Amino acid sequence: MNNLLKHLKGGDLRSIAEANKAVSLIKTQKDFDELFNLLFSKDRLIVMRAADAIEKITLKNPEYLEKYNQELINLINNAVDKELKWHLALIAPRLNLTIDESIIVWRKLTNWAKDKNESKIVRVNSIQALFDLANKNEELKKDFDLTIQEIETENIPSIKARLKKIGCQKQK
């Protein structure tokens, strides 16, 4: 754990410090479990960087998340810091959720995507997560389309770019 912490400490919220080095240290589920526990640190920097590392690791190894559904759902529901939210949004589609869990996560991501007071990165990542979840579950596509219809009227370049990237922007 101290070895991981060493790579995640210091600096400010604009930097990921040596989070990429921490990623390279995770070789087993046990290593990942140590990293995951850092999501509950009282230090916002450590949490942000641990979430960044977890997001990167689980892109190729989503199985590391299998035992953490409930903890991640709780984090998604209770996250306050935008830096944590933007990583949780991208991690959410990698979870193997029950129908009830999916509904909880879907609602929170939809709220983040629609909330004009939310950080643009959180909103963009939530849109991406909703798109990914809708592609995994046909029943969510109509709800996704309704959400996008509401969001696409906003003139926010980062959101327009994401909608274009995922093929959801209406042609004018």
Of residues 169, 101, 94, 164, the one with CA closest to residue 135: 94
What is the pTM for the complete model shown? 0.89
Per-residue pLDDT of the chain (172 residues; tens, 9 = 90+): 557 766 667 655 555 556 667 788 899 999 999 999 999 999 888 899 899 999 999 999 999 999 999 999 999 999 999 999 999 999 999 999 998 999 999 999 999 999 999 999 999 999 999 999 999 988 899 999 999 999 989 989 999 999 999 987 544 3
Q: Are 124 and 164 in contact (CB under 8 A)?
A: no
**Predicted pLDDT of residue 39:** 95
| pLDDT value of position 170 | 46
Domain boundary assignment for the chain:
1-60, 81-172
Provide the 3-class DSSP secondary structure of residue 170.
Answer: coil
Gap between the Cα atoms of 143 and 51, Å rounded = 28
Determine the Cα–Cα distance for residues 37 and 72; give it in Å rounded to an integer: 11
Q: Tell me how far the alpha carbon of residue 51 is from its chain's centroid.
A: 8
Q: What pLDDT score was predicted for residue 51?
A: 94
